[in-house]
Chain A
Amino acid sequence: GENVEQHPSTLSVQEGDSAVIKCTYSDSASNYFPWYKQELGKGPQLIIDIRSNVGEKKDQRIAVTLNKTAKHFSLHITETQPEDSAVYFCAARGFGNEKLTFGTGTRLTIIP
C-alpha cells in the first residue's frame, strides 16, 4: 500500500518568513496530493491540493510543488502570520481509489 513520509515533525519560523514542509510517497500510481491544516480541537481542513498532471499550484500565500519522478511534494507558505500556526498534513491517493494516506503531520509555530 501507499506510504507517505512527512518532514519536519515540528517547525518554528519568524512571522513574515517562509515555511516549507516536505513529503514523499511510495506508490507511483498516486495522482492526487492534498494538504490539510488542523487547528486545535478541530478536524483537518483542506487548504490546497495538486494532481499529478501539474507541477505547481499557488493560492495566495500558499503553494504546492510536485516532483513525480522523485515522488515528493512540498507545501510552501510565504509571509507567514500567527494564524498559520497549526498542524499540517500531506496526503496521497491513487487513481480510482478513494483512500487517502496521510503523512504524520508537521506542527508549525509562527513566532510573533
Chain B
Amino acid sequence: DAGVIQSPRHEVTEMGQEVTLRCKPISGHNSLFWYRQTMMRGLELLIYFNNNVPIDDSGMPEDRFSAKMPNASFSTLKIQPSEPRDSAVYFCASSLTSEAFFGQGTRLTVV
C-alpha cells in the first residue's frame, strides 16, 4: 500500500479564496483523522470519521471549515473563505486498530 495520500503537497492561495484539501486513506482502514499543525498550537485534531461518519468535529475552528467523507477511500477538508491565520500544515491520518498512519501533509499558505 502507498500509505495515506494527500494532495496537494503545497497550496498557496489568496485570502478569501476557497481551499480544498484531499486525502486517500489506507485501504481497509475505517477511521480517518484531519489534523492541523502550527508552531504555536502543535498538532490539533480537527475532525475524525469512523466508517465514513463524522464522530467528533469539536476541533473544527469555525464554520469556515468543513469536512466530508463520501466513501471509504476519499475525504476532503474545505476552507471557505480562507484567512491568513489558516496557514499551517494539514495532515490526514487513517487507522484500523490503534496505530494512526499519517500522510505527508499539505502545507497551506494563505496570503
Contact = CB atoms under 8 A, between A and B. Distances in A.
Interface residues of A, number: 19
B63 interface: no
A34 B105 contact: no
A44 B4 CA distance: 12
Interface residues of B, number: 21
A100 B100 contact: yes
Interface stretch (B13-21, B75-83, B91-99): B91-99
A102 B42 contact: yes
Contacts of A46: 99-101
Interface of A: 32, 34, 36, 41-46, 49, 89, 98-105
Nearest to A105: B42
B43 A42 contact: no
Q: Which of A42, A44, A49 is packed against the most chain B CB atoms within 10 Å?
A: A44
Contacts of A105: 42-43
A49 B55 contact: no
Interface string B83-110: 0000000010101001111111100000
